[in-house]
Amino acid sequence: MRRQRSDSRSAYVFILPWLIGFLCFTLFPIVFMVQQSLTNRKLNGVSKFIGLANYKNMFKSAVFWNSFRVTILFTVVMVVVTTVWAVILALLLNRKQKFNSIFQFCYFLPSVVPTVALAYAFRTIFGKNAGLFNNILSTFMGHTVEINWLYQKNTVYFVVFFITLFTYGTGQMMLIFRSGLADVPQELYEASSLDGATFLQKFFHITLPMISPLILFNAVSGCVSALNGSFALLYPLTSENGDPNGMTQVLSLLIYKEAFSNMKVGYACALSVVLFLVAAAFGGLIFGISKKTVYYED
């Protein structure tokens, strides 16, 4: 009994770094953020209590609602795209063939390249003049293509969608799926082969349920990295204004703009509260879905 008590005391000592960090760098900022969102704090520190005025202004602002929509859209698309793409890449590498390590290197590397470097590379690849993408299209189409990919309404979404395949930890997710695929018992495949199952049947009835816990894990971390990483991608790609015309201005860009260009830190705090709630809602949603769909072996 005594040993157990001392055991539990040493457990708390082990936990201590997290507890201090949680109180100082998570819980306190949350409380502080809510409190500051009720002020008209400026970047130079001057602030006055103004009640819910920030929220009232926010809900009346078309810029905010646009940003809110774009954030939801981007997060959903990015999570789905990266997860599906990572599964496909892992499946491609799952079949034992020569040169797999080279292929893995090629698929993995883009996800460890700094997002800002990729963003700049793609800004020039999708550039109107001397852009690689237009050049490739011109070759295939037989005539000169001059599309300004990043500054047109629909094409900018295509560019972001395309870059998403390379970023947001796709490579990292692929490695996680690879380790999951390696753990699927081969007998299941052999048994189903004898029953005459097709590739797709095997995938949906064996592979997918077996890796579903990993899909959950990746969806959770993908969601966070999409909400977080969209800043690192879109700020160098389309600036804090989310060109063209705010179409790519996710909440994080708007927060940055309001705080540092318009110096309205109090308002930025109100926006941060919304972003925090969006993240919480996504988290709740993913866990809600997973309770019904994720299959655990034991």
Partner 1 sequence: MKSTRTKARLCSFGLYLLKILVALIMFTPIIWILTGGFKTLTEFTTTANLFPAQPTLENYQYIFQHSHIWRYMGNTFLLMFGATIGTLLSSALVAYPLARMDFKGKKLIFSIIIATMLIPNIALIIPQYIMFGKIGWLDSLLPMIIPAWFAYPYNVFLFRQFFRSIPKELDEAAIIDGCTRPQVFFKVILPISKPTTVTIGILSCVFWWNELTQPVFYINSDQWRTMTIALMTSFMYTSGNAFVINWASIMAASTFMLIPPMLLYAFGSKYLVGGIKTSGLK
Which residues within the stretch 14-73 sit at the binding site for partner 1 (CB under 8 A)?
14-15, 17-18, 20-22, 24-26, 28-30, 32-33, 36, 41, 45
| Exposure b/e, 182-216, CB count within 10 A at least 16 = b | eeeeeeeeeeeeeeebeeeeeeeebbebbbbebbb
Site for partner 1 in 160-219 (CB under 8 A): 165-166, 172, 175-176, 178-179, 182, 212-214, 216-217
Residues 276 and 30 sit within 8 Å (Cβ to Cβ) = yes
Residue spans of alpha helices (H) in 184-264: 186-194, 199-202, 208-238, 251-256
Judged by beta carbon, residue 28 or residue 203, the one nearer partner 1 is: 28
Q: How far is the CB of 153 from partner 1 (least distance, A)?
A: 24
CA 262 to chain centre: 27
Given the complex with partner 1, which of 59 and 295 has the nearer CB atom? Answer: 295
Complex with partner 1: residue 93 or 247, whichever CB lies closer: 93
The span of 48-56, 145-153, 190-198, 277-285 binding partner 1 (CB under 8 A) equals 277-285
Give 29 or 185: the residue with its C-beta nearer to partner 1.
29
292 close to 212: Cβ distance less than 8 angstroms? no
- Residue 182: CB minimum distance to partner 1, A: 8
82-141 residues near partner 1, rule: CB under 8 A: 89, 92-93, 95, 97, 101-110, 112-118, 120-122, 124-125, 129-132, 134-135
- From CA 271, how far away is CA 154, in angstroms rounded? 26
Cβ neighbours around 239 below 10 Å, total: 13
Q: Taking CB under 8 A as the rule, which mask of x and - marks residues 233-272 in contact with partner 1?
A: --xx---------------x--xx--x-----x--xx--x
Does position 148 interact with partner 1 (CB under 8 A)? The reply is: no
The answer to whether the beta carbons of residues 156 and 247 sit under 8 Å apart is: yes
What would the DSSP string read from start to end of 86-111?
HHHHHHHHHS--TTHHHHHHHHHGGG
